[in-house]
Amino acid sequence: MDGKLKDLLFNAKTLIVTGQYNEGENLLSQLKNEYPDSIDIDRLWCALAMRTQRMTEVISRAESIYTKVQSDFHKAQWAHILGTANFLSLDLQATHQHFVNCINHLLAIAKSGKVPPQREKSHEIDGSGNNQLNVFASGEAEQLLWKTCAELAKQNIKAFPFAGTLLGLVRNGCLLDFDKDLDIAVWMESWPSCCEALEKAGWMKVPMRIQYANYQDYVHPELGITLDVCGLQKNQQTNNITGGFSLPTYPEEYQRVSVFPLFDLIEHATHFGKAWFPQQPEKILVAFYGDWRTPNPHWDTVISARNLQKFTLLIRCYAYHRMAQHWLTGDLAKTWSYAHQITLKDPDDVLALRTRQWMEHALTRLKRNIPVWPINRPQKRVYTRMVADLFHQGHINFLQAARALGTHLTVCVVSDQRVMENKGKLPVMNQAERAAVVAACRYVDHVTIETPEDVNVDFMKKHGFSVYTFACGSDQERKDKYELCKTLPHEMIQELAYTENISTTDIINRIVSGKTKD
């Protein structure tokens, strides 16, 4: 890229970042006429179009360029743009496929012994066009936090420090100096009034490209500090509190649900008046971070939060987006960190496993340090086999108990033929149907349909399983299941309680008789 084009592209980027979209687009149009073959101009135009909600145009242009470019690096760039545009359009199936394509192109580059050039770090430009100063280290951000919480408290809105902001206040006695935003939480019943009060207090709502029902960003017009507001819902029936990202009209895979134990709030004196603070902040921090006392600068709350109810497709797409984004800019350490975070949530994610492996090869070859991820809870993988025909409450109870034995549960849904051999009849649901139902259970991390003849030590070690578990509905079933794992050491075997008064056979009998259970 020649110097003139580089300077003009920087000017266009500055216009876009500072919200001068018409001026930015005019400049890009002029540049495109002068440099018709420049992919960099097309990439910047796509960034502008995504900011102005023109996803259809972005997808159309990006698909055209993706088919034309030849190198794996350029294909990875445009697959990433396609993934991002589809993500913002909330087409997660297409998003996932494009990010998979992007990562596969990057893996091809890694296998050839190459890495993308590392992009030089520059000062970030905020919405005012000014370089941000570290107002977190200076204490200005903390003053703004308490002033905002106190103003909300005067309006009977119980807003309180949350997430990384709470972590800094409790662990360090001040905000984390490397933090990028303020985090507060509010009960969902106060959500509308909180949003209204923040705008009246001068906070500017940041347009959200995905409109979550319980999450909103604001920016302070003078200091340029971002405020993340999270809505929390108390659930007395389940005795917990939920937060995350909620898209009420979308299915489960489009949600990010984080679960906290119930906690109380207490009044907290500040220079600006009374504010609110968690009475038991450790409850929140342990739920989020586990070992919250050990600093981890690589942590990404969206992916790594330990209290995620499920590692949904929405979270996976976000994780792939961030992992590939850092890879494309040559930041191998960050790429490794995101790959590692994914594998902590899903040890069976082959793309993340391969990415982490190739990052370690590249970092070692380039004599760079591999990031150190603080050891938290050791992985303990649990394995079980089940038929799961006409999935019922007994199956749910068993899977919940099995998952509680470790950190990851793999379920082998046995074949129709094996059911016939063991029970003398075929199941009502075929193997594919049964596997789909089990995979939808929130306690299950991975489902396989491979059914080894027995469960031996070599099989357990090969897949990293620490525990083999089962439940027995009869003495004969117990005998058969212990025979299946007779070569395993005693400490690897865990029998769980069987749920009485419900079974697949009972349900079939009720269907045949046309009677409901008393």
Q: Which tokens go with 255?
A: 């949600």
pLDDT at 123: 44
In a domain, 355, yes or no: yes
Regarding whether 252 and 167 lie in a shared domain, the answer is yes
Regarding whether 317 and 288 lie in a shared domain, the answer is no
What is the CATH classification number for the domain harbouring 161?
3.30.460.40
Q: What does the H/E/C string look like for 49-101? A: HHHCCCHHHHHHHHHHHHHHCCCHHHHHHHHHHHHHHHHHCCCHHHHHHHHHH
In a domain, 301, yes or no: no
In a domain, 286, yes or no: yes
Cα–Cα distance, 70 to 80 (Å, whole number) = 15
Regarding whether 105 and 154 lie in a shared domain, the answer is no
In a domain, 456, yes or no: yes
pLDDT at 376: 59
Nearest Cα to Cα of residue 147 among 227, 37, 212: 227
What is the CATH classification number for the domain harbouring 33?
1.25.40.10
In a domain, 279, yes or no: yes
Which of 269, 295, 321 is the last residue in one of the domains? Answer: 295
Range of the domain at 148: 135-295
pLDDT at 121: 59
Regarding whether 262 and 288 lie in a shared domain, the answer is yes
In a domain, 322, yes or no: yes
Question: Cα 98 to the chain's mean position, in Å?
Answer: 17
SS3 294: coil
SS3 215: strand
What is the CATH classification number for the domain harbouring 488?
3.40.50.620
In a domain, 15, yes or no: yes
Cα atoms in the Cβ-side hemisphere of radius 13 Å centred on 48: 24
Regarding whether 425 and 500 lie in a shared domain, the answer is yes
Identify the segments of the chain with pLDDT beneath 50.
123-132
Regarding whether 360 and 385 lie in a shared domain, the answer is no
Which of 76, 111, 146 is the last residue in one of the domains? Answer: 111
| Overall domain count for the chain | 4
Dump pLDDT digits (tens) for 290-331.
Answer: 888 888 889 999 999 999 999 999 999 999 999 999 999 999
Regarding whether 81 and 159 lie in a shared domain, the answer is no
In a domain, 258, yes or no: yes
Regarding whether 231 and 84 lie in a shared domain, the answer is no
SS3 483: helix
Regarding whether 484 and 401 lie in a shared domain, the answer is yes
Nearest Cα to Cα of residue 157 among 131, 189, 130: 189
Regarding whether 149 and 278 lie in a shared domain, the answer is yes
pLDDT at 157: 97
Cα–Cα distance, 332 to 368 (Å, whole number) = 9
Which of 61, 77, 111 is the last residue in one of the domains? Answer: 111
Dump pLDDT digits (tens) for 307-317.
Answer: 999 999 999 99
Regarding whether 321 and 181 lie in a shared domain, the answer is no
Task: Please give the span between the terminal C-alpha atoms of the chain, in angstroms, as a whole number.
Answer: 77
Nearest Cα to Cα of residue 287 among 162, 412, 191, 193: 162
Regarding whether 157 and 70 lie in a shared domain, the answer is no
Going by C-beta distance under 8 Å and a sequence separation of 6 or more, which residues neighbour residue 387? Answer: 413, 414, 419, 427, 434, 504
Residues linked to residue 187 through DSSP beta bridges, in sequence order: 232
